[in-house]
Chains A and B, each alone.
Chain A
Amino acid sequence: MPRSATARARAKPGKSAAAHRQAALLRLSTEIAAAQDEEAVYRSVVSGLHDEALGYNFLGVFLLDSESGDRVLQASIGWPDVPPDWRVHRGEGLSEQALLDGELHYTPDVTRESKYLPSLSTGSELDVPLRVDGQTIGVLVVESAEPNAFGDEDFEILAAAANQAAIAIGRARLLTAERQRADEHKALLDTMAVLSAELELSRVLQAVLERAVSLLGVTGGEVAIYEEQAQELVVVASQDIGKDSTGTRLKPGEGAMGTVARTHEPIIIPSYAEWLGRSTKYSDVTIHSVMAAPLLIGRRLVGAIATVHSDPARVFGPEDMRLLNLFAPQAAVAIENARLYTEAQRQKQYFEELLQNSPVAIVTLDREYRIVSCNPNFERLFGYSSSEAVGRNLDELITTEATRSEAEQYTREALDRAVHGIGRRRRKDGTLVDVEVLGVPVMVDGERVGLMGLYHDITELLRARQQAESANNAKSQFLASMSHELRTPLNAIIGYSEMLQEEAEDLGHAEFGGDLQKIHTAGRHLLSLINNVLDLSKIEAGRMELHLEDFDANAMLDDVVTTVRPLVDKNSNRLQVERADSLGIMRADLTKVRQMLLNLLSNACKFTENGKITLAAERGEDGGREIVTFSVTDTGIGMTPEQMDRLFEAFSQAEASTTSKYGGTGLGLAITRSFCDMMGGDVQVVSALGEGSTFTIRLPAAVEAVPAT
């Protein structure tokens, strides 16, 4: 052995030297344990071993640069004049030998060695190889100012120190690599978009688990995902625990992982077989001790990780816990990213479904107005397949020469704001289609990335509208001509019967008077029926118009009273008119106001016999606007509340029997209410059966024109 060959023991004060060596080793252990990375390990090796009393005056750690074969200084103590990354070239210096053969080498008197690099006033030198995973990676150099400074005890203690250092270096290297991998993984996961999330997730978690098992030096382990909906953990990665536990489901509180899922705190279970919380799902495998940690995103549980020892000689300690906590965030981030990715995929799929099945033709464009995508309805509407359309300029594809510039205008504007319009576009087969167009900019994170166009085929709609309009015109035309054609002969009947009555009186044939009067009355009745039906059909068609004019309300009332007088007399009623001296000028549709009042008055006359009919009018104010109130009160038959309910509906006299007894169409009040509505007023009724009724019309003194609908 080279060591025994070159070593010569040198006497030292026994007990004190041994104590010093123990102290140095302890110091080294403590400092190494605190080292977080490789460089800290090197620093703690040289500073921990530095001990003048032992003659460990100058110390240095060199690592082999495998490319050049040089030794590069990592840390040193006691050497004042060397640069921090001092290189000792291949073939130079004493310490190379330990690197080459992996053995400890002792040089009792360096001055005798030709290879010695005389940088220090050194007596003796000890070169200890640093071996990690069976490979010599560097050398620990310990020098004393005295020659023949070191003996067997030094060899032993320094060999042990080198061993400790090597383990620490190996672990530090793994940790560094692990941190790097964690960073890389996070970056990978963040941009992960192509692979199926689930496949990727179980692979990532398996990889995380494998590294955790190897770094912790445990038998095996598993990783589970927390399924929020089922409120269960599901094992998705499993390694060397005696079986493949993938797919195992655990309730919160069940087993080690279930326990950490509930407490959100890591746990060490020294003896699993005796632990009360153990799960029966693992009774078929040999588990001695378990260490588990929850996987958390903030305070939200996403899963759990567990590592196991099946060897009773191995136990988990705080250092193991620290290491496990390095892996937990990696796994948690992987799970969370997979969840986010899955959610994003679902969202994407959801919106794609919407797009695919939308009844509207949808196309998206880039900022150069080229088609990026289109949905099946776009294909159907314009006859281009998606592959034909994509990449083409939208407006070149589907406009005609006549509509090109208008369409391009839309497209340009739609890059900035929503535009809406109606236009004509061209299909692939050259036919034209009327469309409603909506264009909107597409913004992603505040950046305008393009625009979206929505097309709705309105050919049918336009056709239907045209048909409806022409049908409506035909109806109006029919009504107008009918009104004329019916009235002309009727006017003759009314006029001639009236004239004959006059002539009969003049010629002394009063006996014809009664019959002629009946013809005349029937004619007038028929005329009013025709007029009412025509009015109502106009109202229902929305074609009744207001013709507003200024008129003297008193003169209008005089006119109405004159007209209604014969009706009042017919049933031996009295008419009383109560009104302010000056109702003033009203602005309204005179014809309609007259018609409404005549309606109410003729109703009153019809349903009252030997009674009193009162027409009252006054001008007042209501809610800041001037109104004119007309009321017609009779002492006639009156109505029940049920009869009043349907009073203003068309074709509803209080009872069918009423019609036969009193005549009329049942349209007068429906028309009256519509006219009131049109003029911004209202009509109301108060009545008691057998006691009479009061109808009240309230109209604005100045009716405002309503825009035509």
Chain B
Amino acid sequence: MARILLVEDNEMNRDMLSRRLTRKGFEVETAVDGREGVEMAKTGEYDLILMDMSLPEIDGWEATRQLRAAPDTERTPIVALTAHAMAGDREKALEAGCDDYDTKPIELDRLLSKINALLENSP
């Protein structure tokens, strides 16, 4: 069972996505800001991280850079979640070290196909 860390500050979004993913069979844990996300990721041994980009404390791009710099998480797949129409966010996310990105509002099927592709390819 794949373990997913969802880093998302908006309570409703966090609740929805974690419940939907759980129902699809994932084991989901959540963090409410960038700092907590980085701390949990370093100790939690997650198979994949869903990272909102606009986060308090440490934003998603900085959090991703920190995770990529840490030996335990440097190869953990990270999917960036960004708001609609923020073109350029994708490039910024990939530059920071994300493996893929998706836009909110979440279309579950689309997100699932990205998650599954990354999980299949990861070691």
Chain A residues proximal to chain B, CB less than 8 Å: 484, 487-488, 490-492, 494-496, 498-499, 502-503, 506, 527, 531, 534-535, 545, 547, 549, 562-563, 589-592
What are the residues of chain A within 8 A of B106 when measuring CB–CB? 495
1/0 per residue, CB under 8 A from A, across B11-55: the answer is 011001101100100000000000000000000000000000000
Q: Say if the beta carbon of B57 comes within 8 Å of chain A.
A: no
What are the residues of chain A within 8 A of B108 when measuring CB–CB? 498
A531 vs B90: C-alpha distance in the bound complex, in angstroms? 18
**Contact among A484, A488, A492, A563 with B16 in the assembled complex (CB-CB below 8 Å):** A492
Q: Say if the beta carbon of B105 comes within 8 Å of chain A.
A: yes
**Contact among B12, B23, B90, B110 with A502 in the assembled complex (CB-CB below 8 Å):** B23
What are the residues of chain B within 8 A of A488 when measuring CB–CB? 10, 12
A492 touches B12 (CB 8 A): yes
Q: Write 29 A-B pairs (CB below 8 A) sorted by A numbering.
A: A484-B83, A487-B84, A487-B104, A488-B10, A488-B12, A491-B104, A491-B105, A492-B16, A494-B105, A495-B13, A495-B17, A496-B16, A499-B16, A499-B20, A502-B20, A503-B23, A506-B23, A527-B105, A534-B85, A535-B85, A547-B87, A547-B88, A547-B91, A549-B90, A549-B91, A562-B110, A590-B90, A591-B85, A592-B87
A563 vs B88: C-alpha distance in the bound complex, in angstroms? 21
1/0 per residue, CB under 8 A from A, across B83-123: the answer is 11101101100000000000011111010000000000000
What are the residues of chain B within 8 A of A499 when measuring CB–CB? 16, 19-20
Which size bracket describes the interface of B in this complex? 20 to 34
What are the residues of chain A within 8 A of B84 when measuring CB–CB? 487, 527, 531
Shortest distance in angstroms between B44's beta carbon and chain A's nearest beta carbon? 25
Shortest distance in angstroms between B80's beta carbon and chain A's nearest beta carbon? 14
Chain A interface secondary structure, helix, strand, loop or mixed? helix
What are the residues of chain B within 8 A of A491 when measuring CB–CB? 10, 12-13, 104-105
What are the residues of chain A within 8 A of B83 when measuring CB–CB? 484, 487
A267 vs B108: C-alpha distance in the bound complex, in angstroms? 113
Shortest distance in angstroms between B34's beta carbon and chain A's nearest beta carbon? 18
What are the residues of chain B within 8 A of A547 when measuring CB–CB? 87-88, 91
A488's nearest neighbour on chain B, judged by CB, is B10
A495 touches B16 (CB 8 A): yes
Shortest distance in angstroms between B88's beta carbon and chain A's nearest beta carbon? 4
Shortest distance in angstroms between B101's beta carbon and chain A's nearest beta carbon? 11
Shortest distance in angstroms between A520's beta carbon and chain B's nearest beta carbon? 10
B84's nearest neighbour on chain A, judged by CB, is A531
Shortest distance in angstroms between A509's beta carbon and chain B's nearest beta carbon? 15
What are the residues of chain B within 8 A of A535 when measuring CB–CB? 85
Shortest distance in angstroms between A390's beta carbon and chain B's nearest beta carbon? 60
Shortest distance in angstroms between B82's beta carbon and chain A's nearest beta carbon? 10
Shortest distance in angstroms between B16's beta carbon and chain A's nearest beta carbon? 4
A503 vs B106: C-alpha distance in the bound complex, in angstroms? 17
What are the residues of chain B within 8 A of A492 when measuring CB–CB? 12-13, 16
A563 vs B113: C-alpha distance in the bound complex, in angstroms? 13
B88's nearest neighbour on chain A, judged by CB, is A547
A527 vs B88: C-alpha distance in the bound complex, in angstroms? 21
A490 vs B16: C-alpha distance in the bound complex, in angstroms? 13
What are the residues of chain B within 8 A of A589 when measuring CB–CB? 87
A506's nearest neighbour on chain B, judged by CB, is B23
5 further A-B pairs in the complex, CB-CB below 8 A; given A545-B88, A549-B91, A562-B110: A494-B105, A495-B12, A495-B106, A502-B23, A590-B90
From B20, B83, B85, B110, name the one whose CB has the most chain A CB atoms within 10 angstroms.
B85
A535 vs B86: C-alpha distance in the bound complex, in angstroms? 11
What are the residues of chain A within 8 A of B20 when measuring CB–CB? 499, 502
A26 vs B104: C-alpha distance in the bound complex, in angstroms? 129
What are the residues of chain A within 8 A of B13 when measuring CB–CB? 491-492, 495
Q: A484-B83, A535-B85 are in contact. Are A495 and B23 (CB under 8 A)?
A: no
What are the residues of chain B within 8 A of A545 when measuring CB–CB? 87-88
**Contact among A490, A503, A506, A531 with B85 in the assembled complex (CB-CB below 8 Å):** A531
Shortest distance in angstroms between A489's beta carbon and chain B's nearest beta carbon? 8
B11's nearest neighbour on chain A, judged by CB, is A492
Chain B 64-96 residues near chain A, CB threshold 8 A:
83-85, 87-88, 90-91
Shortest distance in angstroms between A89's beta carbon and chain B's nearest beta carbon? 117
From B12, B87, B88, name the one whose CB has the most chain A CB atoms within 10 angstroms.
B87
A506 vs B91: C-alpha distance in the bound complex, in angstroms? 38
Shortest distance in angstroms between B91's beta carbon and chain A's nearest beta carbon? 6
Shortest distance in angstroms between B67's beta carbon and chain A's nearest beta carbon? 24
A496 touches B12 (CB 8 A): yes
B16 touches A591 (CB 8 A): no
Shortest distance in angstroms between B60's beta carbon and chain A's nearest beta carbon? 15
A563 vs B10: C-alpha distance in the bound complex, in angstroms? 25
What are the residues of chain A within 8 A of B88 when measuring CB–CB? 545, 547
Shortest distance in angstroms between A32's beta carbon and chain B's nearest beta carbon? 109
What are the residues of chain A within 8 A of B16 when measuring CB–CB? 492, 495-496, 499
Shortest distance in angstroms between A133's beta carbon and chain B's nearest beta carbon? 108
